[in-house]
Chains A and B, each alone.
Chain A
Amino acid sequence: MDQQAMKELGVDGLLEMYRRMVAIRAFDSTVEGLIDRGELVGSIHTSIGQEGTCAGAGMAVAADDYMTGSHRSHGHPIGKGAELAKLMAELFGKSTGVCEGNGGSMHLADFSIGSLGETAIVASSLPIAVGAALASKLKGDGKVTLAFFGDGASNAGAFHESLNMAAIWKLPVIFMCENNQFAVSTRHETVCSVERISERGAAYRMRAETVDGQDALTVWSAVRHAAEIARSGGGPSLIEALTYRYGDHSYLMNRLKYRTDDEVDVWRRNDPIENLGRQLVDDQLVTPDQLAAVRQSVDDEIERSLEFARGSADPTLDSLWPHMYTDPSGFAARRHNQAWFAKLEPAR
């Protein structure tokens, strides 16, 4: 399967996949450092260890296909090809951020690459993915929707409602489960009625499979196939990618004891970035120097994104009403709202 994927992706595609994975890790590692130094605040969920699912799936759909995701939200847009600068600026809460400072880490949305937004209420993005796919079906725009979610979400009602609705309407949606083994500290198998989340596809007569999430090419092949089926009217798929987050649920916020260092080490030795790099070099598709050049280019982009974020202006109060409503006039006219703005910005 990987050989076929490598052939279809070509050297440029493979290097791009590698670049996106490296970018996710570099982005999240940088963010951790920024939190350590107190430069960033808030709840940060990193995708370090899960880059194979983010980039493997993100590369397998078109740039204008739709995507939804979860609180662990940095890896998805990067995996789908977003530029880092506006994502970084969002984490800094700046006006130049993708969400102009309103969303922050858990709500990255980049509509320019089809990202309809990540939501921080577990499973709540799945009904939205169903709706995006319904729009594609009604409009006949040929797009598919890639819906990322975690193992925890698969136990929520919205997951089951969404799979059922997508199945009965044969919607072009790919339910992409990143099973990273834990819902915060709760181990997947202790709260799930099935061993493999893909087993749940059967309840909805939905094609479903489990793949190795640490092998980005395998993820790519599975999603590519599902996208082809969806585009040709064959309906939705459920893909479970087995993966692992090396870090805690939320950086520095959940230092709980629920797994051993040995377990983390086992997964670290099955690292998705190293796996892909090694495979590409072993197959003599690229040289180690080419990979090093990719890593350098990512480091450069990270530096540029930091400069961009740090140099950007904070959002201003006048951005708030237009973000609330396309027509906020009736609300803005209320006297208490006017008084609040006048108090904070008396000269305006």
Chain B
Amino acid sequence: MQTTWLQAANMALREEMARDESVFVMGEDVEAALFGLSAGLVTEFGQERVRNTPIAEETIVGAGVGAAMCGLRPFVDLNIATFAYTAFDQIVNQVAKNRFLFGGQTKLPMVIFLNEFHRSYTAAQHTDRPHGLFMAMPGLKVVAPGTPADAKGLIKSAVRSDDPVMVFSDMTSWNRKGEVPEDPEFLVPIGPARVAVEGDAVTIVSIVALQTCMLAAKKLADGHGIRAEVLDMRTLAPLDEQAIIDSVAKTGRLVVVDTAHHTAGAAAEVAAIAAEYCFDDLKAPVLRVATPDIHIPFSPTLERKMFPTPDDVVQAVLKTAQPAARSRD
């Protein structure tokens, strides 16, 4: 069936709550479903399992840790990704480390759901894209589904995972429609990347930037006759290194697109993989298309300029296709 990204996410959560009584949702305004993720769930499953919390992110996440260690499967909705910062200690010191610290005596089957706001005119405190930050912390699994089908399949896998999973939702994909299997056992495994578009001329790796990359691939095909391969890193941790290596082996060129800041992010990790393992295959320098190391301004005019556009990606690809790209500029 055709659904939006948010509807697919909602479907995943509803199905998993119906399937497993130990799954419950908690967070701020989950009853009313602030953005629609938990829409209708309180009617179906009641307030015990769809639990409005006070504004207390540190304790919301910590309560998730305790509940997960005691046999439940909490789905913690933090609403906006930057709210994770007030819960940072719980996420990096408890969620990520408890199983390890306690010698495997416990598992932490919990999901932390975060919406990445951008192009939303909400200014810097609401507009970070911190997926790379958490990807850099061992102990967490990090997924970022870009299509409605992946939203359903990956969220369901996250709920069923016995390891903690952070699910990043790109708000610009919420209303995008796509075909979603109705099968309640439809799962997308955590780990493998997806070849969204096959090609052989250049690899475009998407990090929470799928729509931008897809449009760029279309422009490249239509306008330049360049068959770009789009590789969707729908799981960021663990990162599907082999998929990157395989694609670059085929294309010899790599452009990495990330909505996050340029420095020390997921795109840097992908570029480093190519540098370490694809050196002999590369015909041109690896290029990153990301956001400059500047906070996101409120000004709608300025905000629009901050994030990678399809044209930015096209330009980067054309650069890797030119001999000139081999010299530094």
Contact = CB atoms under 8 A, between A and B. Distances in A.
Nearest to B99: A323
A97 interface: yes
Given A127-B61, A135-B72, A333-B238, A99 B103 contact: yes
Interface stretch (A156-164, A221-229, A231-239): A156-164
A135 B240 CA distance: 35
Given A107-B101, A326-B162, A162 B59 contact: yes
B164 to A, nearest CB: 9
20 contacts: A116-B106, A117-B102, A117-B106, A124-B93, A126-B59, A131-B67, A132-B66, A134-B66, A134-B67, A138-B49, A158-B59, A165-B53, A165-B63, A324-B100, A327-B162, A330-B238, A331-B238, A334-B238, A335-B277, A336-B276
A133 B66 contact: yes
B239 A334 contact: yes
Nearest to A119: B94
A286 B141 CA distance: 56
A131 B101 contact: no
A329 B190 CA distance: 11
B323 interface: no
Contacts of A139: 70-72
Interface in A102-138: 102-103, 107, 109-111, 116-117, 119, 121, 124, 126-136, 138
A111 B102 contact: yes
A258 interface: no
A168 interface: yes
A109 B241 CA distance: 35
Given A136-B70, A334-B238, A128 B62 contact: yes
Contacts of B40: none
A132 B70 contact: yes
A158 B88 CA distance: 12
Instruction: State which size class the interface on B falls in.
Output: 35 or more
B48 interface: yes
Question: Taking chain B's interface residues, is the majority helix, strand, or loop, or is none over half, making it mixed?
Answer: mixed
A100 B58 contact: no
A260 B189 CA distance: 61
Contacts of B107: 326
A132 B24 contact: no
Contacts of A101: 103
B125 interface: no
A100 B66 contact: no
Given A165-B53, A322-B104, A323-B100, A132 B69 contact: yes
B58 A109 contact: no
B163 A127 contact: no
B72 A130 contact: no
Which residue among A97, A110, A164, A331 has the maximum number of chain B CB atoms within 10 Å of its CB? A331
A117 B54 contact: no
Contacts of B127: none
